[in-house]
Each structure stands twice: as C-alpha cells, then as structure tokens.
Chain A
Amino acid sequence: MMKKLSGARIVIEALIQENVKVIFGYPGGAVLPIYDELFKQNKIRHILVRHEQAAVHAAEGYARSTGKVGVVLVTSGPGATNTVTGLTDAMMDSVPVVCISGQVPTHMIGNDAFQEADIVGITRPCTKHNYLVKEISKLAESIHSAFHIAKNGRPGPVLVDIPKDIQTFETKYGGKKHTKSFTFYKPNTKPSRDTIVEFVNLLDKSKKPIFYVGGGVINSGSRASLYLKKLLKITGFPCTQTLMGLGATPTSDDQFIGMLGMHGTYEANLSMNKSDLMICIGARFDDRITGKVSGFSPNSKKVHLDIDASSFNKSVNVDLLIQGDLSKILEMTLKYIENKKISFSKEKISAWWIQINKWRAKNCLSYKNSRSVIKPQYALQRLDFLTRHLDPFITTEVGQHQMWAAQFLTFNKPKHWMTSGGLGTMGYGLPAAMGVQIAHPKDLVIDVAGEASILMNIQEMSTIKQYRLPVKIFILNNRYMGMVRQWQELLHGNRLSESYMDSLPDFVKLAESFGATGLRVNKPGEMDDLIKEMIKIKGPVICDVVVDPKENCFPMIPSGSTHDQMLLGPNDKLEGEISEEGMVLV
C-alpha cells in the first residue's frame, strides 16, 4: 500500500520527480517543514542566498544558461514579497521559474497574521500563473502543473503558495505519473503549413530582407538556433538580434550586422528602416526596438514568428503571423525549401548588401580611445579578446555597461548571455551569475557590472563565498549612474540630479572582506594584465575597472525618434528639441 507522506515531503518528492537538482532559497517560519525535509535528503542541493530577490535572479541565471526550470523556495510575508522583482523580471524576459513560498496556516489566512502577505494576489500580474494550495489533495498536482506551465508555451514564472498546515498534513503521493493533471494548458506549438508556404514565398521575393531575431529562438532550444543558422546560410540574408536574442546565432558571423534598437548599430537600425521584408523571429517589437512606432520600418512587409499569440499586432501590425514553436516553424520552413528545391539568389540581394556594407563602414561603435584613462568600450573589447576562446557566460546589471557589453562582446553560442532586458533590473547580474556558475561549475562566468547596480545585490558576495563560486565581477566604475546621467545630459539640460555617488565602497577591500580577491585598474596599459590575472585566479574576483566618468553610450536613438534619426556620437546633435511626446517616454 502507498504510504502517506507529509505535504512538505511531497514537495520534495515532486521536485525530485521534476528532475530538480538545485533550488535557491532562504528559510523562515512558514517553510520550516519543507526545510526539514530538505535536510533529510541528498538529491536536491539547496543554495542559501542572502536575499530572496537574489534567489529568483539566481534561478533565472540557472534557467537561462541551461534551458531547465529554475526553482526558488522562500518563506511567507517578506520572504515572498522580496521575490516580486525577480518574478516580474522572469515574466518580462520569459524565463521558466517555479517559486515555492510558505504561507501562514489556512485558518490564519486573512487574519493579518505574523508574516502574512497575500502573495498570490500580489504576484498575479507578475507570474504566468500562481496557486494557493488550500487542500493537501491538490498539492502534488499544483507543483507538477507549475512546472508544466513554467516551461511550456512562452516560458514564465509560476508561484505555488503552500500554507504551513498543508505542509504538515499527510496524504498519499503516487509520483508524477499518478498525479492527475488538472491543467488543460496546451499551447499551440504547431504552425499551419499554408503560412509556411506564404513565408517562403515572401523570402523568395524579397530584395531587401532582414532577419530580426529575439530571445524566443533561445527559449525554443538549441535546435531552433541550428535551424536558424541553416536558414541564414541558405538565404544569405542579413541578421540583427535583440538584446535578448544575442547569441541565438553566432554574433561573429558575417551576416550578423549587430544588435538593433535604441543602442543598436547604425547598420542594423537602418536595415530595419529601409528593408522590404522584415522577418521577426521570437521577438516582440518592444519599444526599445521600434523607436517611434509610426516611423518604424515604413516600407517593409513584416512576418512574425512566435509562440505567443498576444505578441502579434501588439504594437506593430504585421502582414503574416505564424504561431508555433520556433524550432518547428523553422524546421518546416527548411523542409519546404528543400522539397521544393528553392534556391535563393544571392544576386537579388547583392545591392542590399552593398548598401548595408556602406552603413557598416560608418563604424558606428568606434570611440575615441585614450592613453591616460580607460574607456569602458576598450575595457570590454579587451575582455572579449582575452576571454573569447573560453566561451564565457556573461551576465550584466542594467545601464550603460550593459549596452556596451551587448555591443562589444561576442556571443557565439546561445544561453551564454544573461541580461535583464524587459524589466531592466539593476542588481540582476550578480545573483544571475551565481545561478549560472552553479549550473556550470567549470566554466568562466563574468558579471559585467556598473558600480551602482552591483551595490543593489552586493550581499550575494557572501553566498558566492559560501559555495566557492569562482564568479568574476567586472565593474566598469564611472561613479555615475551612467545611463541616468546620459539622459539628463541629453534631455534635462545637463542637470545631474542625484545620479552621482559621492561615497562608494573601496571595491578591493569589499572583495577582501567577503573573502574574494579584489583587483583595481586605472590605466589602459594595465587592462590586459588585470583581465589575465582575473581569469587565472581560481576563486571569486571583483575587478574595479576605473573608467572615464563621462563616457556615453552611442549610437543612440533618442526617445520618440525613428531608426534613421540616430545619434552616432557625442558630437552628433539632436535635430531640434526632443518632442514632448518623446520626453515622456522612458
């Protein structure tokens, strides 16, 4: 006969059945029974973070670098509310995360009990779905459904809130196979053949095509990347990638014309603007990408491939929608091309490539280097050059350093670039790097950071030390919230309101106090030595790269402008004032 198990034990057993190896969490009163069961087993490793927000970001890093579901375990009340930023981040960037939170016992719910928060209510808009488990009989199916929902369709975070009494009640658990699934969630993953035919026709006709590739390709899995690579090769079309899509296909490829969007390359944005066929694959026409929507790629036919129907026609109307799993869509497309023996004439698009190469020749990412002060772009170029052979995993915080990293680093494999795109969460990079390093203990993991962002989750240095994670933190220290200052210079009369930090920690001493190595560099000539030393050191390192405090991030499409109204450098002046419409945009 099947033995009865406690709710807490069922949680652990269900996680084991979901093939969970690692969870990130922080204990507290309302999850003690689960932590007790965690103690009694050795199949799941628990990583004790120092703040629950970091647990979610670490789970995100783990998930994005492996393709698996990241798992978080936190207590009720503040433990749960601290996850909100992380969950929202995972929601915006479509990261599969399951967050299990403790809750006050069922009979106390609604009583304003100690450490009670209506976390299901609070996280309803920032999770893909959530559950409050009010009956022990629903516990196992809630957990298995959470995993099913988190990873299928467009991935996202799912929260399961488990009251403490449910954790101690007992019931039978027959494993995942014998748990009836109460979710009928079956997203449409198979595209219709007609749309594929139409798609190939459009590809065949185009003279000025562009592939606009987003993070959906990476989420769809490595097969999607392979198929896309093949499609790129067959067609010879240029390809641009979004911030989330970097590495979907190798960015060192000749057909890759750089990231697009607000800080994208001149050639990528102008190609979008002047193209006659835009093929959006797993991206969502985000406002950072489109600029002013009314002037967005005015003359192109637009094709949109995505798993999420709500991404279609949201901000930009497209001519052909293909809903489905990207790897299936791309596979069917390739098969159709092969069966019909369609060959793409490189001649038809040769004039387009000549034009693109003219734009490329502008060399829009160039900057004025200096012998006395380290330019942040230079620091990243050297980092890229000296680490590329190691295929490092890169995470970032949010701001100028993030954009420079996107511009100057090379991503030749998917799942090697973890950055907070949609939500723009400062403090994401360090805990995300932890999660990545846990998943890839032997690989080089670098958090490219700014000195402001890093302080938002700096407590995680303690976690890094505890688990001996050799994470490398590469701080581009300009003493400013650089992106805030850049906007203030551009849009607010150079009034630098609260964007300068008067007192910052000594990052070398800070590293040492956490038991890590701290390195500092001030001179461009010492840059290479610092990076080489950083790689050589076995443990965690904080590099304080003191950079030019006034450098700004270009190219830039000012808010409310279109792709052909880019600022290429500090001497490029805005044409007239930024419109009021543009001023209110973020």
Chain B
Amino acid sequence: MAESHSKHILSIMVDNEPGVLARVVGLFSGRGYNIESLSVSEVDSDKFLSRVTVVTSGTKNIIDQIKAQVRKLIPVHNLIDITELKSFIGKELILMKLDIKQKTVLEVHKHIKNIGAKILFEDKTTIIIEFSGTPTEISGLIKKMKVYNIVELTRSGLVSMALGKDYIRR
C-alpha cells in the first residue's frame, strides 16, 4: 500500500545570519526531501529574523521528519505547518514580460485588465505585468497569456499565513 503524499506549507522563523538559508536548503537536498517552492526575506530588522516559506510534499512520516530535522537547526526559532492549521491563505507574485510587437496594444491592454493584472512598464515592444494570486490562479494566468509571446517570467514562490488567531511566534 502506497502511503499518500500531501503538500505542506512550512513557515520557518530563522536568525537572519549568513548561511542560514544554506542550512535549511542543504538539509532538504542532503536528506532527499523535495522543495516545490521557497521564499525567504527578513521580516524583523530589530531582531534580525527572517521568515522562510517552504512548500514540500511527502508522506506523513516524511513531513514529520522534515519538521523535526528543521527544528533541530540551531538558528531556527520556530516552525509551523500552515497546512495543518484550520485555514490559511497562500499567495504568490508573478512578473511577466510580453512581446507585443505583433499584437495591437489595445487588445493586450483589454486582456490584461480582464485578468486583473497590473501593468508595471511598457514600451513599443514589451509590456511587464504584475499579478498576485494563489498558485492555481498564477498557473491559470500563465496559460491564458500564452497567446502572447511571453519573453520571460519570474515567480516569487509562495508566501502564506494562517487565518485568525493562529500565527507564528517569534
């Protein structure tokens, strides 16, 4: 019987010190765990704390093991498994550059407006749009925009937060 794999969003508070990301990421690669998405940035400049959001998947045992291993890292203050909380939101940001040489500008603008994306920059040949949403919405957007020539795109990786009173303690 194959155990079922499930996706988990882990939110990890770490000391913002050199090498801390390497410790977290190295643990995943060294032990053969999967990282589907990763985002990290400082969230408290007084206490030098960064928040790392990792999306990973595995059986319950593997997820438990990942959590226990990450918690063992010395610069890790706290870890919560957002997916195990009652409810949460997860958002991602995407920037996309389109080649609009072949299309009418008006048509492109209309399309972007319908989708709900924001135009950050445009010139005669390219447009950069910004969109934030759930990973599914982002994938949907990419699919829809395929009618244009997507020159490049970049995604921030998922950031997530639990709803209500659940929050990660420092």
A310 and B19 contacting across the interface, CB-CB below 8 Å: no
A310 and B74 contacting across the interface, CB-CB below 8 Å: no
In whole angstroms, what is the CA distance A120 to B17 when docked?
13
Residues of B within 8 A of A125 (CB): 26-27, 30
B37 at interface by CB-CB < 8 Å: no
B69 at interface by CB-CB < 8 Å: yes
In whole angstroms, what is the CA distance A314 to B30 when docked?
15
A544 at interface by CB-CB < 8 Å: no
B77 and A124 contacting across the interface, CB-CB below 8 Å: no
What mask results when residues 289 to 313 of chain A are scored 1 for a CB within 8 Å of chain B, else 0? 0000000000000000000111011
A124 and B65 contacting across the interface, CB-CB below 8 Å: no
A124 and B18 contacting across the interface, CB-CB below 8 Å: no
Q: Do A124 and B19 contact each other (CB < 8 Å), given the known contacts A149-B74, A313-B61?
A: yes
| 8 Å CB contact of A310 from B18, B26, B69, B77 | B69
Q: Which of A125, A183, A312 has the most CB of B within 10 A?
A: A125
What mask results when residues 62 to 84 of chain B are scored 1 for a CB within 8 Å of chain A, else 0? 00110011011110010000000
B113 at interface by CB-CB < 8 Å: no
Q: Do A314 and B65 contact each other (CB < 8 Å), given the known contacts A125-B26, A185-B74?
A: yes
- Closest-CB distance, B33 to chain A (whole angstroms): 13
Q: Do A121 and B61 contact each other (CB < 8 Å), given the known contacts A184-B77, A310-B72?
A: no
What mask results when residues 304 to 345 of chain A are scored 1 for a CB within 8 Å of chain B, else 0? 000011101110010000000000000000000000000000
Residues of B within 8 A of A308 (CB): 72
In whole angstroms, what is the CA distance A309 to B73 when docked?
12
Within 8 A of B (CB), among A535-582: none
A129 at interface by CB-CB < 8 Å: yes
In whole angstroms, what is the CA distance A185 to B69 when docked?
14
A310 and B30 contacting across the interface, CB-CB below 8 Å: no
Residues of A within 8 A of B71 (CB): 309-310
In whole angstroms, what is the CA distance A372 to B150 when docked?
82
Q: Do A309 and B74 contact each other (CB < 8 Å), given the known contacts A124-B19, A124-B26?
A: no
A313 and B30 contacting across the interface, CB-CB below 8 Å: no
Number of interface residues of B (CB under 8 A): 17
- Closest-CB distance, B106 to chain A (whole angstroms): 51
- Closest-CB distance, A302 to chain B (whole angstroms): 14
In whole angstroms, what is the CA distance A183 to B74 when docked?
8
A64 at interface by CB-CB < 8 Å: no
A160 at interface by CB-CB < 8 Å: no
What mask results when residues 127 to 145 of chain A are scored 1 for a CB within 8 Å of chain B, else 0? 0110010100000000000
- Closest-CB distance, A211 to chain B (whole angstroms): 24
In whole angstroms, what is the CA distance A202 to B65 when docked?
26
- Closest-CB distance, A33 to chain B (whole angstroms): 23
In whole angstroms, what is the CA distance A185 to B65 when docked?
20
What mask results when residues 114 to 158 of chain B are scored 1 for a CB within 8 Å of chain A, else 0? 000000000000000000000000000000000000000000000
B2 at interface by CB-CB < 8 Å: no
B103 at interface by CB-CB < 8 Å: no
A128 and B74 contacting across the interface, CB-CB below 8 Å: yes
Residues of A within 8 A of B68 (CB): 309-310, 312
Residues of B within 8 A of A183 (CB): 74
Residues of B within 8 A of A309 (CB): 68, 71-72
A132 and B65 contacting across the interface, CB-CB below 8 Å: no
In whole angstroms, what is the CA distance A310 to B23 when docked?
16
- Closest-CB distance, B62 to chain A (whole angstroms): 10
- Closest-CB distance, B39 to chain A (whole angstroms): 21
Residues of A within 8 A of B23 (CB): 124
A124 and B22 contacting across the interface, CB-CB below 8 Å: yes
- Closest-CB distance, A142 to chain B (whole angstroms): 11
> Nearest B residue to A315 by beta-carbon distance?
B61
> Nearest B residue to A185 by beta-carbon distance?
B74
> Nearest A residue to B64 by beta-carbon distance?
A313
In whole angstroms, what is the CA distance A557 to B65 when docked?
27
B74 and A317 contacting across the interface, CB-CB below 8 Å: no
> Nearest A residue to B27 by beta-carbon distance?
A125
> Nearest B residue to A311 by beta-carbon distance?
B68
In whole angstroms, what is the CA distance A185 to B61 when docked?
25
Residues of A within 8 A of B72 (CB): 308-310
Residues of A within 8 A of B19 (CB): 120-121, 124, 132
Q: Do A313 and B65 contact each other (CB < 8 Å), given the known contacts A149-B74, A183-B74, A308-B72?
A: yes
- Closest-CB distance, B63 to chain A (whole angstroms): 11
Within 8 A of B (CB), among A434-483: none
A132 and B18 contacting across the interface, CB-CB below 8 Å: yes
Residues of A within 8 A of B64 (CB): 312-313
Residues of B within 8 A of A314 (CB): 61, 65
What mask results when residues 94 to 135 of chain A are scored 1 for a CB within 8 Å of chain B, else 0? 000000000000000000000000001100110011001010
Residues of B within 8 A of A120 (CB): 19
> Nearest B residue to A156 by beta-carbon distance?
B72
> Nearest A residue to B22 by beta-carbon distance?
A124
What mask results when residues 17 to 56 of chain B are scored 1 for a CB within 8 Å of chain A, else 0? 0110011001100100000000000000000000000000
Residues of B within 8 A of A313 (CB): 61, 64-65
Residues of A within 8 A of B69 (CB): 310
Residues of A within 8 A of B65 (CB): 310, 313-314
Residues of A within 8 A of B61 (CB): 313-314, 317
- Closest-CB distance, A305 to chain B (whole angstroms): 16
Residues of B within 8 A of A317 (CB): 61
- Closest-CB distance, A545 to chain B (whole angstroms): 40
Interface contacts beyond A120-B19, A309-B68, A313-B64: sample of 11 additional A-B pairs, CB < 8 Å, sorted by A: A121-B22, A124-B22, A125-B30, A129-B74, A183-B74, A309-B72, A310-B65, A310-B69, A313-B61, A313-B65, A314-B65
Closest 5 CB pairs of A and B: A310-B68, A129-B74, A309-B68, A125-B30, A310-B69
